[in-house]
Every structure is written in C-alpha cells, then in structure tokens.
Amino acid sequence: MDSTPLRPLKASRPAAALHGEITVPGDKSISHRALMFGALAVGETRITGLLEGEDVLRTAAAMRALGARVERRGAEWLVAGPGIGGLTSPDDVLDMGNSGTAARLLCGILASHDIFSVMTGDASLRKRPMQRVITPLRACGARFTARTGDRLPLAIQGARDALPLSYRLPVASAQVKSAVLLAGLNARGLTEVEEPEPTRDHSENMLRHFGATVTVSQHGSARHIQLVGQPELRAADIAVPGDPSSAAFPLVAALLVPDSRITLKAIGLNPLRTGLFATLREMGAALTIQNPRVQGGESIGDLRVEYTALSAVDVPPGRAPSMIDEYPILAVACAAARGTSRLRGLAELRVKESDRFTATAAMLAAAGARVEAEGDDLIIHGMPEIPGGGSVTTQMDHRLAMSALVLGQITAAPMTIDDSTFIETSFPDFTKLMRGLGAAMSPL
C-alpha cells in the first residue's frame, strides 16, 4: 500500500447519539496464528470469523508461498498444511506488508525449517526492530542477514537440525514469545520461554488446541512456558472471536458521545487482552459483559456500553501488555475525562506501526487537548470541551487513524486525518460500521 494515493477523512460531531448492535472483525492475533498453525498441522483446518484485513491476508499469502493450501470457501477459510518440517522454499520475496506480527511469527517458523527465504514489508514495517526475534532465533542454528539496524529486508537460512531454545524475554512481547515457540515446533527436545510479565497467550492456547504439549507455570508475575518439540499437530476447527482491540474504537466512541448505547457481539475476552476494559471501568464506564461463554479455548462475550461521564485514571506500567494496542484510543477517552490521567511505562509504544508514543501525544495536541510526555509516561489533562479543528498525520498506523476519527466525534470543530488507507490492515469496513452506529465520518 506504499504507493496508493492518500485517502483523507473528516470526522465531526454526530447529529444524534450512537445506537446499535454490531459485530467487529475477527481477532487479528488469533487470525494470523490460525493460518500459521493450520499450515503446520496435518489435515484440513477450517477457520470461521477470520479477519480478512490486509495484515492477515499477507500471512495467508506467505503460507501459500511456503507450500500450504489456503483458500476461502464461502464463509470459511480452509488451510491444509505441508505440516511441521514440510515447508518449501518460497520462489519470491515474502512481503509482510504492514504487519509486525506476521513478520516476527513467520521468522520463528522459518528459523527451524531448512529453507532459504527473504522477507520484506512496507515502509512502516521496514523501520521496526527485528533484532528482538533474530537474537533468540539464531541460537537454534538459523542464519539471518538483515539491513543495518536489524531491519527488513531480511534473508533467512533456516537451521537443518534446529536446536531447542531456552529464552528469557527482555521485553514483554507476545510476538517474540510466539516466534520462539514456533521455532521450537521443529526442534527436537524442550523449548522454554520465560516472560517477565504475562502477554497474550493465543499461541499457547492454539498449540494445545492442535494437540501440542504446552505447560505453563507462574512464578510471581513471571511465566515459564515449555513446549515439547516436533509434535504431530492435527488440524482443528477454529472460530475466531471479535477482536477486543478493534471493539475498543466503537466502544470508546459510545462512551464519549452523549446518550449513546451500543452492543458489540462475540468479543474475545481473553484476560491477557482486556486491560482496556478494566481501565475504562476504573474511569466509571458503564460497560457490562453479557452471555459470557467459551469458544475454541478462548473466553468471549457481548459488550454492552453506554455513554458515561468518565473520570481520570492512573494506569500502572504492569498493565501495558494486556492493553498494548489500546493506548491511542484510551488517550482519547482520557482527553475527555474529568481530571488528569497518567498512562505509565509506554516505552514499547515507540516501536509499533508508528512511534505511537509521540504520535498519540501529537494527535491529542492537534485537537487542542492538553497532553504532556514525561519519560515513558503520558499525562493527559481532561477537558470538558476539546476544541478540535486539527489535522492528524497517521503515519501508516491504523490505530492512530481510528483513534483520531473517534476523537473527531466529540471535538467542537471537526478533525481530519491525512490517510485512512491503513485502517484496512485490521478493521475493514470501519467507517461503514461506525456510520451505521450514527458516527459522522466522511471523505474530504
């Protein structure tokens, strides 16, 4: 999407409150993993609710290029893999587009397959650090040659006889944890990962769902994960829940636009993903979960949310892994809350699709909201009325684009964004769905 023309949008206060019942697209993290694990399993995996966003389609294309059959049939996606150890050399460069998750998880798979591949991505992904996966994966015997600063493009020669890894994560990252576990699938023996703080555990859940032996033990706030190598993964059906990170946008919009009331159906409620919901409740949000249930090893439920006059919040750094993608939209909620909020320990935001730490502050400042950065903390002074009238540069970052469009629903004057193209990576039909609820967003 590097060379497509920009698609600017304007967001303004809607004429009436937001109302309705919607389903948001499938969970991005689970969708990537469903395609990858399906390709590593024996038999045909059937996936419903797969996110058909640009990021996940890149993973589908990469798994095809590595020898898997990946196809859409009706509402289902079918994946028939060559199985662990059976991947073949792609005959062209693997282009992972905007997706850090696709790139880093795939590095794990490629590291323990005796094949050569070259990986690249768009201008945003080519800026993001790959050293965090290259360092642990080299220890299994794989060779990586990267551009200066360990950036993509990256050439990978996977190990012939991969060694199992034992790695303690220096940063809380589910992508790094998953890359190590994926490499361990084709290594003889026990692969071990220790994470300082728990991060989303979709890989562990799905590996078990496909028949692998994964054990997890908790030591204080740290978690120790063990995977028995070279399991026979068996194809399994997967129903992908609605993405809580996508639900966050309509949810916050409904909290902020007076008199709104909406329901978001079948949203994933994995406790390692729900930090935003806990934080919004601390701010006083009228947010309830209905019909809690378990689907394919993951908790889901319907979220019902009503407009609430929110209060400021102090978010501890330890909560970051459970809401790492939600800070831009939380910052929007804080800008409208009564009092001063402090969002602590956000260093990891600097290496997302954009430098989200700086970009989130710039977005609020563009609207005339009051925000300060102090070390790795963001301090936001809530205002009863945010002036708006500004323009946000979205820097190829889907979550920044959607956050700015939600912000424009409550500012006195409309907000504009320079480009909405990248919303497609995670939330196809975002503007259509939001307009259906009553939000005001239109092309410039």
Indicate which residues carry an active-site annotation.
325
Taking the C-alpha atoms of residue 132 and residue 101, their distance in angstroms, rounded to an integer, is 12
Sole residue written with tokens 């956050």: 403
Binding flag, residue 324, ligand S3P (CB under 6 A): yes
Kindly state the number of chain residues that form the binding site for ligand S3P, as judged by CB under 6 A: 10
Of the candidate residues 175, 260, 308, 322, the single one contacting ligand S3P (CB under 6 A): 175
Q: Which stretch binds ligand S3P (CB under 6 A): 170-178, 227-235, 360-368, 410-418?
A: 170-178
The residue among 325 and 419 lying less far from ligand S3P, judged by its C-beta, is: 325
Helix (H) or strand (E) holding 122: none
CA dihedral of residues 57, 60, 64, 70 (deg, nearest 10): -110
Q: Which stretch binds ligand S3P (CB under 6 A): 90-98, 168-176, 263-271, 427-435?
A: 168-176
CA 419 to each of CA 247, 261, 399, 416: distance values in angstroms, whole numbers, following the listed order? 21, 29, 12, 9
Report 273-312 residues binding ligand S3P (CB under 6 A).
none
Binding flag, residue 325, ligand S3P (CB under 6 A): yes
Binding flag, residue 125, ligand S3P (CB under 6 A): no
Report 11-40 residues binding ligand S3P (CB under 6 A).
29
CA 383 to each of CA 206, 333, 374: distance values in angstroms, whole numbers, following the listed order? 43, 11, 20
Report 184-203 residues binding ligand S3P (CB under 6 A).
200
For residue 11, what are its two tokens? Answer: 């967001």
The residue among 17 and 272 lying less far from ligand S3P, judged by its C-beta, is: 272
Minimum CB distance to ligand S3P, residue 175 (Å): 3
CA dihedral of residues 29, 261, 403, 397 (deg, nearest 10): 30
Binding flag, residue 173, ligand S3P (CB under 6 A): yes
User: What is the x/- site pattern for ligand S3P, positions 198-237, by CB under 6 A?
Assistant: --x-------------------------------------
Q: Which stretch binds ligand S3P (CB under 6 A): 12-20, 160-168, 173-181, 390-398?
A: 173-181
Of the candidate residues 50, 165, 174, 280, the single one contacting ligand S3P (CB under 6 A): 174
DSSP state of 25: P
What is the greatest pairwise CA distance in the chain?
Answer: 63
Report 143-162 residues binding ligand S3P (CB under 6 A).
none
Taking the C-alpha atoms of residue 65 and residue 93, their distance in angstroms, rounded to an integer, is 9
For residue 332, what are its two tokens? Answer: 């929007």
For residue 204, what are its two tokens? Answer: 């562990």
Minimum CB distance to ligand S3P, residue 194 (Å): 15
Binding flag, residue 181, ligand S3P (CB under 6 A): no
Of the candidate residues 59, 178, 322, 409, the single one contacting ligand S3P (CB under 6 A): 178
Minimum CB distance to ligand S3P, residue 174 (Å): 3
Residue 121 exposed, middle or buried by CB count within 10 Å (0-12, 13-18, 19+): buried
Q: Which stretch binds ligand S3P (CB under 6 A): 12-20, 174-182, 253-261, 354-362?
A: 174-182
The answer to whether 426 touches 245, Cβ cutoff 8 Å, is yes
Residue 21 exposed, middle or buried by CB count within 10 Å (0-12, 13-18, 19+): exposed
The residue among 201 and 302 lying less far from ligand S3P, judged by its C-beta, is: 201
DSSP state of 414: -
What sign has the CA pseudo-torsion 157, 229, 47, 420?
A: negative
| Cβ neighbours of residue 73 closer than 8 Å, sequence gap 6 or more | none
DSSP codes of every residue in 141-165: T-EEEEETTTEEEEEEE--SSPPP-
Which of helix, strand or coil describes residue 401? Answer: helix
| Cβ neighbours of residue 273 closer than 8 Å, sequence gap 6 or more | 200, 244, 245, 322, 323
Minimum CB distance to ligand S3P, residue 320 (Å): 9
Q: Which stretch binds ligand S3P (CB under 6 A): 13-21, 172-180, 329-337, 378-386?
A: 172-180
Report 334-373 residues binding ligand S3P (CB under 6 A).
348
Binding flag, residue 101, ligand S3P (CB under 6 A): yes
Minimum CB distance to ligand S3P, residue 200 (Å): 6
The residue among 322 and 341 lying less far from ligand S3P, judged by its C-beta, is: 322
User: Residues in the site for ligand S3P, rule: CB under 6 A?
Assistant: 29, 101, 173-175, 178, 200, 324-325, 348
